[in-house]
Structure 1
Amino acid sequence: MRPRKRPAVPRLRPPYRATPLLRRARFQASSRREASSHDLRRRESRRHWWRNFGRRVRVAPRRARRGRDALRLRPRRRRAHGAAEVLDQLTHCNCRVLTDRLQFFGGIGGRREVMEDGTELRFDHGAPYFTVTNDEVAQVVGGWEARGIVAEWKAMFACFDRATGKFTDFEKEGSTKKYVGVPGMNSICKSLCSEDGVVAKFGVTVGKMDWLQDRSSWSLASLDGKDLGNFDYVVATDKNVGSPRFSGLTGRPPPLDLSLFPRLSVMVQDIPVRPCFALMVAFSEPLAMVPVHGFSFNNSDSLSWAFCDSSKPGRACVPPNRQSWVLHSTAEYASKVINHIGPRKPSVDALAKVAEELFREFQATGLSIPQPIFMKAHRWGGAFPAIAIGGDDKCVWDKSMKLAICGDFCASPSIEGAVLSAMRGASKIMGCLNCPSGL
């Protein structure tokens, strides 16, 4: 039996008007036929518009048609400005976030080195691991662990007494859960920067931040004077945003003129820091006389910690028996060197001299340390804050200027402190946008 042919729905031309009955017939006929791509885009755009009606936002249809919510914070073209630590919460608030950092040269942390034979080496020359005690941060880290971004480093730690030449205070494996990024510590920031709706820019240094009172927004410019646009909110994660230390590093005034913001100047003008030098070394064979994967130093004038970087989960060494270690200097040693060579970026010769001095101290432990196949030093001039300025809020927040200052220097000098500070700063912004907080 041949199927019945549906009657064609008459289409009227202007100046005639379709009656309600004809409009209903047209809708039924259009719903029966397969929707075109144009129809799908229109429906999706309308759905987004009605869902966000009254929230002073508008839809970016090009992103919406790809199945993602891309909402502007205000009808005019502005964006929230933040760093990687606050992206996860802000993207859950359906806000389009452009990420940048006041001093973010080149990329996202980590260190990649290439030997003369072409072998590639990777080092976590900053924070070797992190622990979690706060319940809020534990929930976030649990999500990272489930996604394979971080993993537990089941390593044994101890303390080495330089005077006696013996290991003491052995820490049992698993007594304190230590997390590391997989395959590197920079995996956490990389994952946050790859979230939907996030635009990450590298190699751009914010050189000037101007508050536009009449527009209630921020105008940002790069260090070379290039206009970076206007933004509703600014999240600063660099402790030198208003510090004279920025001038010592770049030869230019700090991005934020604290003379215009007296309340902030008391808190963020000059945050004391503890400098450090990191020594990255690689050996062709394991250190047989070192029974642990990490240890601190007692009675050493120049070394504070040593970590076997290649023992972390997700690290690969070629050949398999090769070991890579990262050594951290004491703050006293680093301060003495920086006072001698100045605050600017150290020269290659200066770093080579530091590497030789630190490695000699490592060999002087009597642990039969062989000659390395690779050795290089790196300076952390102000990576480790000496105080926390955030108080109970764990961040510095100015609602009238829509400015949040977050970082480990606001909560505690650790990765956990940085994450907690970022979560509190993101919650402040989401409260202004009437978005639910939490992940």
Structure 2
Amino acid sequence: MSNIVTKVAVVGSGISGAVCASTLARNGVSVTLFESARGPGGRMSQRREIAEDGKELLFDHGAPFFSISNTDVLKLLHEWELKGLVAEWKENFGSFDCLSNKFLDIDQEGLGKRYVGVPGMNSICKSLCNETGVESKFGIGVGRLDWLDSENSWLVMGMDGQNHGSFKGVVASDKNIFSTRFKDVTGCPPPLDLSLAPELAMKLQDIPVNPCFAVMLAFTEPLSSIPVKGFTFKNSEVLSWGHCDSSKPGRSTTSERWVLHSTAKYARDLIAQTGLQKPSTATLTKVAEELLEEFERTGLHGSQPFFKKLIDGQGSAFPAASVAEEEKCFWDGKKRLAICGDFCVSPNVEGAILSGLAAAAKFIEAPSCL
């Protein structure tokens, strides 16, 4: 691959896109990564907030941790550990039954290894997006991907109509690039017209999702009545998960910070009422209050948080199905188009990594087409 000059555009800087971009670059491919957000991470992003007193608060509002079993991914994990990008989160976890108001199934420390990025979940993606051979362009949303028959290449256009150049291949690591949801949210057609890849179009129609909303909370004092640092909620129609973000390795402990995730049903009902467009401030405030009220009903904390904010944009956070388990990604060799993400393999970080590796392998294993 070292003597092959080629350019590939990777759309999306979540862990799947970041792993794919890094792997391609390490194999001699020139990569330009496009990300509409200000920084990398996708659901592994870290949110920076400022409290009323000026205190900085950091939250991992998406994926709280990840576990690894695949040997290929374990190799990457060890590499990240050596670089100080990853650490094991050695705390107890469990579940809380909202009917009996009791904790159940508390895991002892070390029974199942849970890993987090250090100092934030986005640290892995940051590192991958900064590797040699990867040019990362943040704050640039892709508005259109056009296939140019005459040049046998892809043209990447920004949301603002700016031409970002032509590329010999494209990796779409964000399902919103081709999903009809893109139009529901933005009013514009999705950047990737799947009619350009008819063999893939049927497989990628209507990928089901489990919607989720998250609220970030900060407390002055530790919530000492909670015996675990992460737990699922049983018999709650509002909350599905909560974790103490400040208990993770490498985090500031000047305040105790918690993240609560809603149930899919709660989020789905809300979206049915408000639509997929950006919710109003009043709606965001109402949802944050309802999630906090459900948390209060458990009796797990006595004090009020000094900071509370709902995450906007979590409406279709987690895929509900795996649509390419065997291949681990989608590939159109004629147009050199790869589609990857956790929706391909499994709805977790490891699944996203595996899909990103598979997408990169499609290009690497077929160098003649590049």
1:8-157 → structure 2 map (5 Å cutoff)? 55=3, 57=4, 72-73=5-6, 79-82=7-10, 83-101=17-35, 104-108=36-40, 109-157=45-93
- Contact 1:362–1:369, Cα closer than 8 Å, also in 2: no
Percent identity (aligned): 51
1:11-410 → structure 2 map (5 Å cutoff)? 55=3, 57=4, 72-73=5-6, 79-82=7-10, 83-101=17-35, 104-108=36-40, 109-318=45-254, 322-379=255-312, 380-410=314-344
State the match for 1:428 in structure 2.
Answer: 362
State the match for 1:419 in structure 2.
Answer: 353
Structure with more contact order per residue of length (Cα contacts < 8 Å, sep ≥ 6): 2
Distance in 1 (alpha carbons) for counterparts of 2:276 and 2:59: 24
Q: CA deviation at 1:239?
A: 0.8
- Contact 1:153–1:313, Cα closer than 8 Å, also in 2: yes
Q: Which runs of 5+ in 2 are unaligned?
A: 11-16
- Contact 1:211–1:217, Cα closer than 8 Å, also in 2: yes
- Contact 2:207–2:321, Cα closer than 8 Å, also in 1: yes
Local SS of the residue matching 1:89: helix
Change over 3 Å in CA distance of 1:87–1:262 after alignment to 2: closer
Local SS of the residue matching 1:325: strand
Local SS of the residue matching 2:105: strand
Distance in 1 (alpha carbons) for counterparts of 2:320 and 2:301: 35
Aligned amino acid, residue 296 of structure 2: Q
- Contact 1:245–1:270, Cα closer than 8 Å, also in 2: no
Runs of 4+ with deviation above 4 angstroms? none
Local SS of the residue matching 2:188: coil
Q: CA deviation at 1:142?
A: 1.1
Distance in 2 (alpha carbons) for counterparts of 1:428 and 1:244: 26
- Contact 2:147–2:196, Cα closer than 8 Å, also in 1: no
Aligned amino acid, residue 122 of structure 2: N
Distance in 2 (alpha carbons) for counterparts of 1:160 and 1:142: 33
List per-residue Cα deviations over 1:43-72 (Å, max 9, x = no partner).
Answer: xxxxxxxx96xx4x4xxxxxxxxxxxxxx3
Local SS of the residue matching 1:170: coil
List per-residue Cα deviations over 1:159-212 (Å, max 9, x = no partner).
Answer: 100000111111111111100000000001100011112111011111111111
Distance in 2 (alpha carbons) for counterparts of 1:145 and 1:261: 39
Aligned amino acid, residue 107 of structure 1: G
Distance in 2 (alpha carbons) for counterparts of 1:81 and 1:260: 17
- Contact 1:395–1:425, Cα closer than 8 Å, also in 2: yes
- Contact 1:90–1:430, Cα closer than 8 Å, also in 2: yes
Distance in 1 (alpha carbons) for counterparts of 2:301 and 2:243: 16
Aligned amino acid, residue 121 of structure 1: L
List per-residue Cα deviations over 1:101-138 (Å, max 9, x = no partner).
Answer: 4xx32222210000111100000000000000111111
Local SS of the residue matching 2:62: coil
| Structure number with larger C-alpha Rg | 1
Q: CA deviation at 1:348?
A: 1.8
- Contact 2:37–2:138, Cα closer than 8 Å, also in 1: yes
Distance in 1 (alpha carbons) for counterparts of 2:194 and 2:249: 44
Distance in 2 (alpha carbons) for counterparts of 1:192 and 1:417: 17
Aligned amino acid, residue 331 of structure 2: W
State the match for 1:3 in structure 2.
Answer: none
Q: CA deviation at 1:434?
A: 6.9
Distance in 1 (alpha carbons) for counterparts of 2:21 and 2:200: 24
- TM-score scaled to structure 2, two decimals? 0.94
Local SS of the residue matching 2:326: helix
Local SS of the residue matching 1:167: strand
- Contact 2:325–2:346, Cα closer than 8 Å, also in 1: no
- Contact 2:22–2:134, Cα closer than 8 Å, also in 1: no
